[in-house]
A and B are shown apart, each in its own frame.
Chain A
Amino acid sequence: METNGATANPSEVTRGVAPLARLQQLLDSIGRSIIQFIRTAEGLVAFALITLGVAFSKFNASARVIHPLVRTQVYRAGLRLLAMTSFLACALGLVIIGQMVGLLSRVGAQGLAGTVMVTVVVRELGPLVAALLVLVRVGAGYVIELGTARAMGEVEALEALCIDPIHYLVVPRVAGLALSIFSLTVYFIIVTLVSGYLFAFVQDVPLTPGDYFKQLAVALTWEDFALLALKTCSFGAVIAVVTCYQGLARPLRLEEVSGATTRAVVQSVVGCVLLDICFIVVYLVM
């Protein structure tokens, strides 16, 4: 029944307001996410710059303590992952590279094998796989270790002993992960290329080892070596900075450590992928 022409029907009002409210909620949510993202990025950049500053200003300070810590991290994130890296490199070599060489030979394009290998393995697969492996096996552990140390008050104890927590806890991890990911990538690439050829050889691909490695050598340029070193060290630095930031940047309660670990893994993956995109642009420009 219509009582007043000026008064809107309640159902019409609800129909009109509800989508508006939902839109507002959606915009609020997007806005909050953007602000959160900016704050996180800001914190990470600030933390990275502080770490860089400490690394340079205290480059040789307390070498008797810091150098063994770097070696420990290299052992932990490099040597101890060799077995796992070998397994992954062989598996990927057999599954992807071997099949690709076989396929290229079947269409008579074995002359492109070197270029494809360099593009796929040296530029992309090697650095990314090594970085993800280190992130999962070591990076996540960093957040737990540092988050627990922070929650237990060990960081304040370091400060009480005039030991800079960034110098003692973060710098060796950044240096260790950068060196480890670089070394693991080189190892991964060699094992992948060799195991890939072995698989192709088993498939009777008409490609001699000499031709295969000659193609690789021709396809590789000095920029590949330089960018590989830069890229892998950058991945190591990104993973170490993100995981240390999540563990140390703010006081954590013990129950918050698992959430911080998940955040660190996600942010590290995003960071590495964004960095990878930057390097792809560099490769395309060159």
Chain B
Amino acid sequence: MKESLSSAAPRSKEAAVPLIEMIGLSVGAADSSESALVEEVNWSICSGEYWVVGGLPGSGKSDLLATAAGLNRPQRGTLRWFGKEVSELDEEGLKASRSRVGIVFENGGRPFNHLTVVENIALPLRYHRNRSPAEVRETVEKILQFAGLTLLANMTPSRVKPAERQRVALARALAMSPDVLLLDNPLAGLAAQEARWWRDCLADLSAGHDIVGGQPITLVVTCDDLRPWADQGKQFALLNQKRLMPMGGRVELAHSAEPLLQELLAAQFSTGQI
């Protein structure tokens, strides 16, 4: 039997508390403090949920996720992680909470190019948990196997295909055993087969895979094409005209007449047109 990579204690203890909560939050671009990209976000992400956030390219999806992950400071409003206000956390508290929120960036996932694939995945384990090389190796091998990266273990990310680079980023995020995993447009530019792998993989994680201790992991996915996600996500939201609009579940999604939703479900645009 595979060993669990995560600790179950914090999850059961805080089951009732939203893992991430945004109250009246305004999100700005990472490189600019001027106008807000998304305003008045009131959003609670609870344990076991699988959110899919759709929006046109440039609507602020990436910045919303970066803010949720604590990488961008919100322009206004309150951000809470596991019931605690992020701005009031001390360094240790911030570190403890942030390590439970994983993020996979868009376009290759930003792996560290000076490290090999295996070193990328091992880095957070070695940095935070001070584990022995044997323990790290064992854990990393499981994650490599899960992500289908065993054969690429000793290559640097710049030498692998972009789709595999994205998997490296997922594997690296999973190494921290996060309670919430934020994925920024993970299917962008992927071939159908690779996209299928991602959807299956995320479905496994959402259902509770051995790699995350058999517990359902909370997922938040952004996308600009809702079609692959319509039968995957459990909760849906749209980013439209600087507002985050929760749409409900699959049933509500099927009956909604929201024009942007129809557009995203038909995917009648391409990123090049925007």
Contacts and interface: CB of A to CB of B under 8 A. Distances in A.
B98 interface: yes
Given A62-B130, A145-B114, A159 B71 contact: yes
Contacts of B102: 160
A11 B130 CA distance: 79
Given A145-B114, A152-B110, A152-B113, A163 B66 contact: no
A163 B124 contact: yes
Interface in A168-224: 168
Interface string A142-159: 000100010011101111
Nearest to B136: A64
B201 to A, nearest CB: 19
B113 A154 contact: yes
Contacts of A149: 112-114
B126 A251 contact: no
Given A65-B123, A156-B71, A162 B128 contact: yes
A64 B173 CA distance: 20
A156 B123 contact: no
Contacts of A154: 110, 112-113
A258 to B, nearest CB: 19
Nearest to A148: B113
B110 A153 contact: yes
B126 A65 contact: yes
A246 B91 CA distance: 26
Contacts of A282: none
Given A153-B110, A251-B31, A160 B128 contact: no
Interface in B91-144: 95, 98-99, 102-103, 105, 109-114, 123-124, 126-128, 130
B187 interface: no
Nearest to A251: B31
A162 B95 contact: yes
A153 B31 CA distance: 12
Contacts of B30: 156, 251
A39 B196 CA distance: 51
B71 A161 contact: no
A145 B112 CA distance: 11
A173 to B, nearest CB: 13
Contacts of A145: 114
B170 interface: no
Contacts, number: 60
Nearest to B111: A157
B123 A161 contact: yes
Interface string A47-83: 0000000000000001111000000000000000000
Contacts of A63: 130
A65 B127 contact: yes
B69 interface: yes
Given A65-B123, A162-B95, A163-B123, A157 B128 contact: no
A154 B112 CA distance: 6
Contacts of B105: 153, 156-157, 160
Nearest to A167: B127
A81 B110 CA distance: 32
Contacts of B112: 149, 154, 157-158
A189 B126 CA distance: 39
B172 interface: yes
B96 to A, nearest CB: 9
Interface string B61-83: 00000100101000000000000
Contacts of A251: 30-31
A168 B109 CA distance: 19
Nearest to A68: B126
Contacts of A160: 69, 71, 98, 102-103, 105, 173
B176 interface: yes
B127 A62 contact: yes
A255 B68 CA distance: 30
Contact of B128 (A62, A152, A156, A158): A62
Given A62-B130, A160-B103, 12 more contacts: A64-B126, A149-B112, A152-B113, A156-B30, A157-B105, A158-B112, A159-B71, A160-B105, A161-B176, A162-B176, A163-B128, A251-B31
17 contacts: A62-B128, A63-B130, A64-B126, A65-B123, A65-B127, A153-B110, A154-B112, A156-B105, A157-B105, A158-B112, A159-B71, A160-B98, A161-B123, A161-B176, A162-B176, A163-B128, A168-B127
Interface of B: 30-31, 66, 69, 71, 95, 98-99, 102-103, 105, 109-114, 123-124, 126-128, 130, 169, 172-173, 176
